[in-house]
């Protein structure tokens, strides 16, 4: 006769014990893990989207040296400012809403840059990209930690591999666009690829992400937990 037991989760400590009892990051936790990494892939891809096309963009829009300097650093400065804001959003609204919001900001930023006809529009677009990067990175790392058993915490370093993969993918796509002989508008293709990736990750995260049980426990909303 087969017997089954059910773990009763009453608070944060119970949630942590349940997660740490897992032998791997699989099932729903595995899906959430890779969705969070997908967001980090997008962060790196969006941050490096202009790298290969910076020279052509400079010629295409006749940018000055000062404008190029501001353009290459602006998104990172915005990300630094929005990183603590992302933490505040995660504490107030949970993990899912800010992560999805970050993808919307990334899409808006990418589209503004793709169709920009002047430097000012590109800066506005890069502001949205930086905001998305800052919000997403802070929360995605928290999600990875919250769904990872203590014995497997070394796997959190996977985000670095995802970052390098995104940058290399950017380069490969730039080579593809170059082979299409698109000229100095190649930078628009690279940024358009960012928008496509952002839309795909937005759909996946909106469809499959569930709220962190640790956050729910801290908010005394365990009746909404996604796990048994």
- Residues 22-37: what's their mean pLDDT? 90
Task: From residue 20, give the alpha-carbon distance in Å to each of 16, 44, 152, 189.
Answer: 6, 30, 9, 44
* Per-residue pLDDT band at 2 (split at 50, 70, 90): very low
Task: Please provide the average confidence, as pLDDT, over all residues in the chain.
Answer: 89
Rounded Cα–Cα distance for residues 20 and 1 (Å): 28
Return the higher-pLDDT residue of 213 and 7. 213
- Residues 86-92: what's their mean pLDDT? 94
Q: 3-state DSSP helix/strand/coil percent for the chain, to nearest 5?
A: 80, 0, 20
Residue 5 confidence (pLDDT) above 50:
no
pTM higher than 0.85, yes or no? yes
Each residue of 66-83: pLDDT tens digit? 999 999 899 999 999 999
Q: What is the model's pLDDT at position 220?
A: 76
Burial of 31: CB neighbours in 10 Å, binned 0-12, 13-18, 19+: middle
Rounded Cα–Cα distance for residues 59 and 116 (Å): 14
Least confident of 5-9, 33-37, 76-80: 5-9
Residue 8 confidence (pLDDT) above 90:
no
For the chain, give the percent of residues with pLDDT over 70. Answer: 92
Q: What is the model's pLDDT at position 9?
A: 60
* Spatial CA neighbour of 110 closest among 127, 98, 97: 127
Residue 60 confidence (pLDDT) above 70:
yes
Least confident of 54-58, 78-82, 219-223: 219-223
Q: What is the model's pLDDT at position 224?
A: 61
Residue 227 confidence (pLDDT) above 90:
no
């Amino acid at each position: 006769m087969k017997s089954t037991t059910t773990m009763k989760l009453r608070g944060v400590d119970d949630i942590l014990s349940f997660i740490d009892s897992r032998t791997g990051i699989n099932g729903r936790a595995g899906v959430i893990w890779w969705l969070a990494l997908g967001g980090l892939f997008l962060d790196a891809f969006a941050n490096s989207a202009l790298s290969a096309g910076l020279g052509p963009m400079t010629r295409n829009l006749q940018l000055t040296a000062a404008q190029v300097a501001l353009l290459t650093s602006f998104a990172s400065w915005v990300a630094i400012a929005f990183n603590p804001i992302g933490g505040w959003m995660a504490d107030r609204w949970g993990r899912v809403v800010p992560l999805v919001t970050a993808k919307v900001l990334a899409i808006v930023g990418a589209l503004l840059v793709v169709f920009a006809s002047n430097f000012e529009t590109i800066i506005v677009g890069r502001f949205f990209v930086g905001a998305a990067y800052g919000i997403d990175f802070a929360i995605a790392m928290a999600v990875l930690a919250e769904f990872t058993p203590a014995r497997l915490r070394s796997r959190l370093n996977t985000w670095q591999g995802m970052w390098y993969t995104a940058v290399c993918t950017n380069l490969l796509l730039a080579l593809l666009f170059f082979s299409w002989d698109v000229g100095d508008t190649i930078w628009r293709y690279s940024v358009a690829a960012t928008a496509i990736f952002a839309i795909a990750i937005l759909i996946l995260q909106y469809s499959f992400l569930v709220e962190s049980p640790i956050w729910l426990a801290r908010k005394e909303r365990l009746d909404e937990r996604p796990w048994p």
